[in-house]
Structure 1
Amino acid sequence: MTEAPRSPRSARPTVVVVGGGYGGISVAKSLDDVADVILVEPKDAFVHNVAALRALVEPDWLSRIFLPYDRLLAHGRVVRDRAVMVGAGRVVLASGDELAADYIVLATGSRYPFPAKTELDSADQTLERYQLIHKALANAGRVLLLGAGPVGLELAGEILAVWPDKHVTIANGSSDILPGGYNPDLRSDLRRQLTDLGVEFVLGSPLRGTPPTAPGVLETFSLTTEAGRNLTADVWFRCHGISPVTDYLDEELADALTSGGYLEVTSDLRVFDQDTVFAIGDIAAIDGNMAALAGVQAEIAAANIRTLIEGDGVLTEYEPAMPGIIVPLGPNGGAGQFAGQPGIVPPEVVSQVKGQIMFVDRYAGLLGVTVPGGPAYGG
């Protein structure tokens, strides 16, 4: 435990939160009553990536994954801009403006191929892209998914829940699905469910080259694996390739980067050798890349900043989670593993926990918005 230095109470300090994803909105909301919070985010709406694959196959969900930031903060403000240089005590924006900060929380998350995430900053443009690719997917008879991690498995389940007659192939160079320290029974159950849905697995042999078309484009093509297996598809999606967004750090903060581009943090979630700069979520080299973990880290970072502001107390340490995951396969299928608990989570529990509602209510409530087709949440 780290003891916070004692200091007299002063005017409200400024906390700049860089990134308006799962961790960013949580820490900003938590500190709104004790600090002047500025949330810096280039997107014009929060994108609920957890439900993005559902929205691809069921366009009615699109209105539920773009949630405005207007009601997130009662006292602070959201600045729609991109951080291009961040150092201890300052954030330089693409517009040329510079924000002075007493505390900074880096919560810029990660990049991942569409449709699991989007690089577009406009909700309207992103919505149009989902609709365009939905149309291509609806007209495809054969779908190739490159990657056998959670995204590839979940996307296969979503596709077949809507179009059970499509032929879906999951191809990956590794010999098994779902990398990581998970229960082998979880892999077996997910593979069994997907096989029952008609999914074809082509594992253990990489492809000779890449598809000649862009992902999400309707155009028939063929590829061959190194083992000589021929694969033909009408559309394909890349379901691997996560990368942390940390390319805006100044030289001093960049010293804490790992070779993979993640930020090394202390147990209290401060960037190494920094007293007032915190990093949470996908960019922090302390745990896995999951929205739920970003939320937990946000709570701890916010509590520690509050302690530093008040100048009295002990900083809380973050304990990395044991392996846990929920993988829905459409609204009614899937399996999971709760951290620290034996056995696997059956489809009916997955459906209740995530498969049916995709946590939309949780983040709508945090942002204080009303979700079309769902209950209203005040903020």
Structure 2
Amino acid sequence: MAVEMLRFIAKYLPAILPFAFSLLSERIHAFIHRFTYKSVSAPKNVVVLGGSFAGAWLALRLAESLPTGYKVVLVEKNSHFNYVFNFPRYSVLQHREQRAFIPYDGLMKKAPKGVFERVQDVAVEVRDGEIELASGVCVPYEYLAVATGVRQSGPAKLLASEKSEACAELRTLQGKIQGAKRIAIVGGGPVGVEITADIKTFYPEKTVILIHSRSQLLSNFGKRLHEHVMGKMNDIGVEVLLGERPNLPQVENSEAAELVFKGGRVEHFDLVARDPLQGKEKIIPCTGQTPNSSIIENFLPTAISPKNGQILVKSTLQVHSGPKCGTAFENIFSLGDVAETGGPKMGSAAFVQSGIVEKNILALIHGKELSEYKPMSVEGILKLTLGKDNYVVYAQHEDGSDFLMPGKDSNVDLAVAKAWKTFGADFKDSDV
């Protein structure tokens, strides 16, 4: 473990140090900005669509740097910031789900007056120079950043936009898990692995089956991580079925369902969602994600990749219209999971990309040279929980080397308290 940590530091320190100095410089400029920005009656809008990690960080950075005459408008459908990292844990652990929903109110409490506006609404159409919202309101923009993320099934993402209803969704899943004797989880990515390990370690008496279509869990990462996770699953008593892609029924309205595996083997499941305490078996799908790129489909149809549905961007993260970076839309950017950036689909990558978009919007305002986003392997570092007490940190470097560092953490709330602090919210209010 110590040797692995030293290898990790030696490999990534050259990348981390300049980034740390850059963040320090940002904080200094943000402090100065509070006293130099002046509110005006009709500022030009820099609109950010989506208030998850990429969008929220970008909005915060812009609020700390936009010159007088501009303001940032964050359009987000959710009433609270969804700390999705804890959704798998709070799908299992009861009476803590409210802590995953952080008020946006504190995010800009140190920003100067007039620089920020948050609109709780859904953008339904992008046009040249304006956004139409579901409410019928049209918001003009000078610059636009699309950070609408991806659609996923629960527990990775929730349907509700209000905190109370989102908490109810998590409590429903908690009830299903609590009432089940045999639980099948379909999908061996990070969410599937985490919720599997949480269920088995918080409810060791249950039979938990993890089903994955490929021969390796966590298929986007190295084999060493797969082997480590398989060992942990074996230790805690989880059955793992690899290379299986069973038919997944529509579970919402089914009282009984079955999965058909290779060779025609059939497994029966009781899916009585209306009364989960009576269920002996439940299915929790943890499969796939779809980019939320349809918002620009009418306006910029050729800017959506036919391969994966992501928004095509240049290295500057400006949206472009097709093969070989055809027409670029100078004032429209995209970042985070919805964009085809070449970087990992991770929170750390979204943070780095938000810095690039902020710099480039400021560069366009001031007539300066644009910066390019160059993905770094450090952005893809994964911290994966493996039950209530264990985790593993995994990283892959460009040269093919990888790093695997297991650890222990008895804090069942993981890092949610730190997230509340980042958003300027008081964690003492987290149980309200």
- Give the distance between the partners of 2:429 and 2:93, measured in 1 at CA: 13
Unmatched tracts of structure 2, length 5 or more: 1-37, 270-280, 321-327
The equivalent of 2:285 in structure 1 is 238
- Give the distance between the partners of 2:59 and 2:248, measured in 1 at CA: 41
- Give the distance between the partners of 2:234 and 2:120, measured in 1 at CA: 45
Is the CA contact 1:321–1:339 (under 8 Å) kept in the aligned structure 2?
Answer: no
- Per-residue displacement from partner, 1:20-67 (whole Å, max 9, x unpaired)? 111111000111131311100111111111111111111333121111
Letter in 1 for 2:392: A
- Per-residue displacement from partner, 1:158-187 (whole Å, max 9, x unpaired)? 11121112111111222221112x221111
- Give the distance between the partners of 2:292 and 2:213, measured in 1 at CA: 26
Q: Please tell me whether residue 51 in structure 1 is matched to residue 86 in structure 2.
A: yes
Judged with a 3 Å threshold, the aligned counterparts in structure 2 of structure 1 residues 251 and 324 are, in CA distance, closer, same or farther, namely: same
Is the CA contact 2:394–2:405 (under 8 Å) kept in the aligned structure 1?
Answer: no
Higher relative contact order (CA 8 A, sep 6+): 1
Q: Please tell me whether residue 140 in structure 1 is matched to residue 188 in structure 2.
A: no
SS at match of 2:376: coil
The equivalent of 2:304 in structure 1 is 257
Taking the TM superposition and a 5 Å limit, the aligned residue runs for 1:214-229 are: 214=252, 221-229=257-265
Aligned counterpart in structure 2 of residue 99 of structure 1, from 123, 139, 152: 139
- Per-residue displacement from partner, 1:280-313 (whole Å, max 9, x unpaired)? 101111123222211211121112212222333x
Judged with a 3 Å threshold, the aligned counterparts in structure 2 of structure 1 residues 256 and 221 are, in CA distance, closer, same or farther, namely: closer
Question: Shift of the alpha carbon at 1:206?
Answer: 2.4
Letter in 2 for 1:18: L
Q: Please tell me whether residue 368 in structure 1 is matched to residue 424 in structure 2.
A: yes
Taking the TM superposition and a 5 Å limit, the aligned residue runs for 1:354-365 are: 358-365=414-421
Question: Shift of the alpha carbon at 1:121?
Answer: 1.1
- Give the distance between the partners of 1:70 and 1:139, measured in 2 at CA: 37
Question: Shift of the alpha carbon at 1:265?
Answer: 0.5
Q: Please tell me whether residue 113 in structure 1 is matched to residue 153 in structure 2.
A: yes
- Per-residue displacement from partner, 1:136-163 (whole Å, max 9, x unpaired)? 2111111101111111111101111211
Mean Cα deviation higher: 52-61 or 259-268: 52-61
Letter in 1 for 2:252: A
Is the CA contact 2:45–2:143 (under 8 Å) kept in the aligned structure 1?
Answer: yes
Is the CA contact 1:178–1:187 (under 8 Å) kept in the aligned structure 2?
Answer: yes
Mean Cα deviation higher: 276-285 or 291-300: 291-300
Amino-acid identity (%):
28
Is the CA contact 2:216–2:223 (under 8 Å) kept in the aligned structure 1?
Answer: no
SS at match of 2:91: helix
Letter in 1 for 2:148: T
SS at match of 1:347: strand
Letter in 1 for 2:310: Y
Aligned counterpart in structure 2 of residue 344 of structure 1, from 386, 389, 403: 403
SS at match of 2:387: coil
Aligned counterpart in structure 2 of residue 275 of structure 1, from 319, 330, 335: 330
Unmatched tracts of structure 1, length 5 or more: 1-9, 375-379
- Give the distance between the partners of 1:197 and 1:231, measured in 2 at CA: 23
Judged with a 3 Å threshold, the aligned counterparts in structure 2 of structure 1 residues 346 and 231 are, in CA distance, closer, same or farther, namely: farther
- Give the distance between the partners of 2:389 and 2:118, measured in 1 at CA: 37
Letter in 2 for 1:333: N
Is the CA contact 2:91–2:170 (under 8 Å) kept in the aligned structure 1?
Answer: yes
Is the CA contact 1:145–1:239 (under 8 Å) kept in the aligned structure 2?
Answer: yes
Judged with a 3 Å threshold, the aligned counterparts in structure 2 of structure 1 residues 201 and 17 are, in CA distance, closer, same or farther, namely: same
Is the CA contact 2:202–2:388 (under 8 Å) kept in the aligned structure 1?
Answer: no
Is the CA contact 1:148–1:172 (under 8 Å) kept in the aligned structure 2?
Answer: yes
Mean Cα deviation higher: 68-77 or 293-302: 68-77
Question: Shift of the alpha carbon at 1:250?
Answer: 5.1
- Give the distance between the partners of 2:318 and 2:300, measured in 1 at CA: 11
The equivalent of 2:360 in structure 1 is 304
Aligned counterpart in structure 2 of residue 86 of structure 1, from 110, 120, 126: 126
